[in-house]
A and B are shown apart, each in its own frame.
Chain A
Amino acid sequence: MRNHIGKKIINSILPVALAFTIGGIIIALLGSNPFEVYGVMIRKSLMEMKGITRTLQLASPLLLTGIAISLCFKANIFNMGIEGQLVFGGFMAGIFGSYVTIPNPVLHILLCFAVGIACALAFALIPAVLRAYYHVDEMVVTLVLNYAMAKVLEYLSTSVFRDAGSGYVCTPAVQKTAKFFLLGKTKMTAFVFVSFAVFLIISFIMTRTKLGYSIEALGKNPDFAEATGLHSRKKVMTLMLLSGAVSGIAGTGWMLAEKTFYTLDFSGSPGLGWDGMLIALLGRHSPAGIFVAAIFYSALKTGSEKIGLYTDVPNEIVSVIQGLMILFLSIQFLDERFGLFEKLKQKKADKEG
Chain B
Amino acid sequence: MNVIETVDLTKRFGNFTANDKINLTVEKNEIKCICGENGAGKSTLMNMLYGALQPTSGKILINGKEVHFKSPVDAIACGIGMVHQHSKLVPSLTVYENIMLGIEISKKAGKFNSPFIDEKEERRQVQELIEKYHFQLNAEDKVADLSVGQCQQLEILKMLYRNVDILILDEPTSVLTPQEVDWLIDNLKNLSRQGKTILVITHKLREVMAVSDSVTVIRQGKVIGVARTKDTNERELAQMMVGRDVVLTVSNENGGEPGSDTVYEVSGLCTNNHLGLDVLKNVSFQIHNREIYGIAGVEGNGQSELIKVLTGIMLATKGSVRLFGEDITNLWPDELRRKKIGIIPEDRYKHGLCRDMTLADNCSAGYLDDAEITRRGILNRKNMQKRCHDYIEKYDIRIADEYGNVSQCSGGNAQKLIIAREFESSPRLIIACQPTRGVDVGSIEYIHQCLLDFRNKGYSVLLISSELSEIMSLSDRVGVMYKGEIIGEADPKTASVADIGLLMAGTIPEGMR
Interface residues of A (CB under 8 A from B): 1, 208-213, 216-217, 220-221, 223-231, 346, 349-350, 353
A346 to B349, CA, bound (A): 27
Q: A213-B361, A217-B361, A226-B313 are in contact. List 11 more A-B contacts (CB 8 A).
A: A208-B378, A208-B381, A209-B379, A223-B347, A224-B354, A227-B313, A228-B333, A229-B332, A229-B333, A349-B54, A350-B54
Inside 8 A of A225's CB, which chain B residues have their CB? 354
Query: In whole angstroms, what is the CA distance A209 to B368 when docked?
Result: 10
Partner of B311, one of A217, A220, A227, A230: A227
Q: Does B21 contact A (CB under 8 A)?
A: no
Q: Mark B335-379, 1 if CB is under 8 A from A, else 0.
A: 101000001010101111111110001000110100000100111
Residue of A1, A216, A228, A350 near B366 (CB, 8 A) is A228
Partner of A230, one of B334, B335, B378, B403: B334
Q: SS class of chain A's interface: helix, strand, loop or mixed? A: helix
The interface residues of chain B lying within 8 Å CB-to-CB of A220 are 354-357
In the bound complex, CA of A227 to CA of B335 (Å): 11
The reply to whether the CB of B401 lies closer than 8 angstroms to some CB of chain A is yes
Q: B354: which of A1, A221, A231 is its contact (CB, 8 Å)?
A: A221
Interchain CB contact under 8 A, A217 and B365: yes
Residues of B near any A CB (own CB < 8 A): 54, 56-57, 70, 311-313, 332-335, 337, 343, 345, 347, 349-357, 361, 365-366, 368, 374, 377-379, 381, 401, 403-404
Q: Is the CB of B333 within 8 A of A226?
A: yes
Q: Are A229 and B334 in contact (CB under 8 A)?
A: yes
Query: In the complex the two chains form, is A210's CB within 8 Å of B334's CB?
Result: no
> Can you list 8 contacts pairing A with B, beta carbon distance less than 8 Å?
A210-B374, A210-B377, A210-B378, A224-B352, A225-B354, A226-B351, A228-B334, A230-B334
Q: How far is the CB of A334 from chain B (nearest CB, A)?
A: 19
| Residue numbers in A under 8 Å from B374 (CB-CB) | 210
A211 CA / B378 CA spacing, docked (Å): 8
Contact call B337/A229, Cβ cutoff below 8 A: yes
Closest to B364 in A: A213
The reply to whether B379 and A228 contact each other, CB–CB distance below 8 Å, is no
Once the chains are docked, how many angstroms separate the CA of A209 from the CA of B375?
9
Are B378 and A209 touching (Cβ within 8 A)? yes
Chain B residues, Cβ within 8 Å of A213: 361, 368, 379
Q: For residue A200, give the distance in angstroms from its CB to the closest CB of chain B.
A: 14
CA distance A227 to B333 in the complex (A): 6
Q: For B401, what are the chain A residues with a Cβ–Cβ distance below 8 Å? A: 1
Docked complex Cα distance between A213 and B362 (Å): 10
**Chain B residues positioned under 8 Å from A228 (CB to CB):** 333-334, 351, 365-366
Q: Shortest distance in angstroms between A286's beta carbon and chain B's nearest beta carbon?
A: 15
Min distance, Cβ B320 to any Cβ of chain A, angstroms? 21
Asked if A224 meets B350 with Cβ closer than 8 Å, knowing A1-B403, A217-B365, the reply is: yes
Report the Cα distance A210→B375, complex, angstroms: 9
Query: Once bound together, how far apart are the Cα atoms of A296 and B355, in whole Å?
Result: 34
On whether the beta carbons of B377 and A227 are closer than 8 Å, the reply is no
On whether the beta carbons of B379 and A208 are closer than 8 Å, the reply is yes
